[in-house]
Amino acid sequence: MSAAALRRAAKESVSGLPRAFWWLWASTLVNRLGAFVATYTALYLTLERGYSASYAGLVAALHGLGGVVSSLGAGVMADRLGRRPTLLIAQVSTALSVALLGFMEHPAAIAAVACLVGMTSNASRPAVQAMMADIVRPEDRVRAFALNYWAINLGFAISSAAAGLVAEYSYLAGFLGEAALTLLCAVLVFVKLPESRPERDTAARRSDEPETGLGTVLRDGRYMGVVGLSFLISLVFMQGSVGLPVAMGMDGWSPSDYGFVIAVNGVLIVALQIPVTRLIEHRDPQRLLVVSALLAGYGFGLTAFAGSLGVYALTVCVWTLAEIVNSPTQMGLVVRLSPVHGRGRYQGVYTMSWSVAALIAPLMAGYVIDHFGAAWLWGSCAVIGTVAALGYWLLMRALPPTSLASEGPSPDSAVPAAAEPSEKPEKTGA
């Protein structure tokens, strides 16, 4: 491909998205650039503080538990208070709790604040996802979610390398640095992002139309099916950070060997997320979700046969391709099935599936490896991926075309008052 063709493809990948999206994208990138706690908490607790690996695992589980608790509450806040206030509260609270964690010394205090960090850091996700659905046109949403996921991984790749250097100097500097960057995100949200929550029109307010509550979401069988499948896929993907390092260590590989292998994941996402999304954004989502689930399951399943770093890296390539395809496609499906005035709650329940997986995945990996061996863990991943693929096939087969057509903002959606004319989302009739 010529340089001119590459420039044209890059321009088409980022064109047509509203300015508010790019400020939201920038806040995501800045936030992930400061992801020190997620990367180095285990090393901080075991090397710097001298606590056991079991205690470090407990702290990680409490961090995940905090995310489970906040996902639902943050979704309700995004619908009731608005996306912008929820983001501001979540980001300021995250900055304060992360800074506080750096000064904690007693084991109970560290555990409690780690749970608080998990609550606050996960509270922004439903609001970000709901705001993105509000401001981006339906036909551009898969591309927008892919670009946001690309920013997450680019920021995380840079922060992982930088955090290692910072940790050699001072772990406290890492905590305070993440707090400062999170506060910068809050400033970006406050200064640049208008509220995007759709408002009901006067007729809707006078009607007896029921509000969308958490019970509404939980009774939505088709949507909860998507949440359940997201949980299964999350269990598989998270083995890259919880099961893979343990298994490689038991096989005699060093932490630097694992670092080299897992770096393939970040490099491939940064290099391929945008071009792959250009190829898939208008293709059949059922087929994409089925194929990505199989690639994820069998990509990890192939790890059972890895005997060299090259083979380990090859398996990472397989499940990373699944990740690249699954993430924006599944987010597009979530938005399609979410009512306009309940997006925050629906996104909160969806986010909870990842938080619950973050809580269970380490326990699953440890138990299976300790009692049966790593090969059984990778075989379990293949089985889970197959079950998820079958689930996507059945769920999408039963999804009527009219449901997929009703994904756009409803006619009564309010355009953010601060948006310029060119930034107004197009109103698509259902």
The predicted model gives 76-80 an average pLDDT of 87
Q: Is the pLDDT of residue 412 over 50?
A: no
Q: Is the pLDDT of residue 423 over 50?
A: no
User: Measured between alpha carbons, how far is 321 from 269 in angstroms, rounded to an integer?
Assistant: 8
Please report the pLDDT score of residue 416 as a whole number.
38
Q: Are 306 and 315 in contact (CB under 8 A)?
A: yes
Please report the pLDDT score of residue 411 as a whole number.
35
**Please, which pLDDT band fits residue 1 given cuts at 50, 70 and 90?**
low
Q: Which of 358, 364, 354, 305 is nearest to 326 (CA)?
A: 354
Please report the pLDDT score of residue 398 as a whole number.
65
**Please, which pLDDT band fits residue 8 given cuts at 50, 70 and 90?**
low
What does the pLDDT look like over 280-330, one tens digit per residue? 877 888 899 999 999 999 999 999 999 899 999 999 999 999 999 998 888
Q: Which of 1-15, 268-282, 365-379 has the lowest mean pLDDT?
A: 1-15
Q: Is the pLDDT of residue 30 over 60?
A: yes
Matching residue, tokens 């990505």: 292
Q: Is 50 left (phi over 0), alpha (psi -120 to 50) or beta?
A: left
Q: Are 198 and 85 in contact (CB under 8 A)?
A: no
DSSP 409: P
- Token pair recorded at residue 37: 């706690």
The predicted model gives 141-170 an average pLDDT of 79
The predicted model gives 15-36 an average pLDDT of 84
What does the pLDDT look like over 168-215, one tens digit per residue? 778 888 889 889 999 998 898 888 888 888 876 544 444 444 567 778
User: Measured between alpha carbons, how far is 138 from 426 in angstroms, rounded to an integer?
Assistant: 9
Q: Is the pLDDT of residue 125 over 50?
A: yes
Dihedral of CA atoms 342, 338, 272, 139 in degrees, nearest 10, equals -100
User: Measured between alpha carbons, how far is 143 from 120 in angstroms, rounded to an integer?
Assistant: 27
Q: How many CB atoms lie within 10 A of CB 380?
A: 21
**Please, which pLDDT band fits residue 9 given cuts at 50, 70 and 90?**
low
**Please, which pLDDT band fits residue 79 given cuts at 50, 70 and 90?**
confident
Q: Which of 407, 76, 69, 356 is nearest to 215 (CA)?
A: 76
Q: Are 94 and 75 in contact (CB under 8 A)?
A: no
Contacts of 46 (CB under 8 A, 6+ apart): 52, 53, 56
**Please, which pLDDT band fits residue 413 given cuts at 50, 70 and 90?**
very low
User: Measured between alpha carbons, how far is 12 from 5 in angstroms, rounded to an integer?
Assistant: 11
User: Measured between alpha carbons, how far is 35 from 357 in angstroms, rounded to an integer?
Assistant: 20
User: Measured between alpha carbons, how far is 118 from 94 in angstroms, rounded to an integer?
Assistant: 9
DSSP 158-215: HHHHHHHHHHHH-HHHHHHHHHHHHHHHHHHHHHH---------HHHHHS-PPP--HH
User: Measured between alpha carbons, how far is 420 from 401 in angstroms, rounded to an integer?
Assistant: 33
pLDDT-above-70 percentage for the chain: 84
- Higher pLDDT, residue 117 or 258: 117
Please report the pLDDT score of residue 291 as a whole number.
95
Please report the pLDDT score of residue 382 as a whole number.
97
Q: Are 268 and 388 in contact (CB under 8 A)?
A: no
Q: Are 113 and 59 in contact (CB under 8 A)?
A: no
Q: Which of 97-106, 218-227, 357-366, 397-406 has the lowest mean pLDDT?
A: 397-406
Q: Is the pLDDT of residue 217 over 70?
A: yes
Average pLDDT, the chain: 81
Run of H or E including 241: helix 239-250
- Token pair recorded at residue 26: 């920038």
The predicted model gives 392-410 an average pLDDT of 60
Gap between the terminal Cα atoms of the chain: 39
Q: Is the pLDDT of residue 228 over 90?
A: yes
User: Measured between alpha carbons, how far is 347 from 134 in angstroms, rounded to an integer?
Assistant: 12
Please report the pLDDT score of residue 200 as a whole number.
63
Q: Which of 380, 264, 374, 394 is nearest to 323 (CA)?
A: 264
User: Measured between alpha carbons, how far is 293 from 337 in angstroms, rounded to an integer?
Assistant: 20
Matching residue, tokens 């994941």: 265
At 222, is the secondary structure helix, strand, or coil? Answer: helix
Q: Are 394 and 269 in contact (CB under 8 A)?
A: no
Q: Is the pLDDT of residue 420 over 90?
A: no
Cβ-count burial of 104 within 10 angstroms (0-12 exposed, 13-18 middle, 19+ buried)? middle
**Please, which pLDDT band fits residue 400 given cuts at 50, 70 and 90?**
low
Q: What angle do CA 110, 114, 117 make, to 5 degrees?
A: 140
